[in-house]
Amino acid sequence: MPDPGQDIASREPRLLGPADIRRIAGRLGIRPSKRLGQNFVTDAGTVRRITALAGVRQDDVVLEVGPGFGSLTLPLLAAAGRVVAVEVDQALAAELPRTVAARAPGLTARLEVVAADAARVRDLPGPPPTALVANLPYNVAVPVVLHLLATVPSLRRGLVMVQAEVADRMSAPPGSCARQRRPRRSG
């Protein structure tokens, strides 16, 4: 008999949609916080594409920063051997295991949630992370990435989503001014 927490056709976790996120947010009394730079990914196609681009494999331990409601966590759990999710919002950190249990009960053992600020976290549970996946707000992107690169030497690759301005600044040569916008690639 198929697992009720998974899509029958694909055996993949049932991903969160906008209505699911609104329902969970309403139940928790959460509204996206400007102070925390929260911006929740709600499109299933987008999270599938992010997961594919991250190149996560079953032998990976993924460090996911800012999992929020778990939209990206669910497909990462299906692709990776383990996900360590670092979430600064205490309510979201507490809710994430419940969301995974409801939508992908066979994958709950692969999830470890750390309620902490990713820019300050030092010790992570379990085997060392090999991949970083994050959707970071403008105001913390650079400090978080620099901190994690300095404190988690086991990371071999990563996919970090940031605003275009932050990406320009991060990829600019030392001493240059990255204020000019480069043409955006389409596709």
CA 7 from centroid of its chain's CA atoms: 21
Pairing state between β 157-161 and 82-87: unpaired
Distance CA 22, CA 31 (A): 9
Give the model confidence (pLDDT) of 54-94 as tens digits: 999 999 999 999 999 999 999 999 999 999 999 999 999 99
Q: Which of 85, 133, 137, 140 is nearest to 107 (CA)?
A: 85
Does residue 177 carry a pLDDT above 70? no
Q: Which of 55-64, 134-143, 146-155 has the lowest mean pLDDT?
A: 134-143
User: Which DSSP string do the residues of 156-174 spell out, in sequence order?
Assistant: -EEEEE--HHHHHHHHSPT
* pTM for the full predicted model: 0.82
39 compared with 137, residue with greater pLDDT: 137
* The pLDDT of residue 9: 33
The reported pLDDT for the residue numbered 67 is 94
Q: Is the pLDDT of residue 34 over 50?
A: yes
Mean pLDDT, all residues of the chain: 85
> At 6, is the pLDDT very low, low, confident or very high (cuts 50, 70, 90)?
very low
Backbone angles phi, psi at 160, to 5 degrees: -120, 120
Q: Evaluate the CA torsion angle 142, 154, 93, 69 in order and state its sign.
A: positive
- Is pLDDT at 113 greater than 60 in this prediction? yes
Of 152 and 135, the structure prediction assigns the larger pLDDT to 152
Grade residue 50 by pLDDT with cuts at 50, 70 and 90: very high
Question: In this model, does residue 3 exceed pLDDT 50?
Answer: no
Report the distance separating Cα 86 and Cα 75, nearest Å: 16
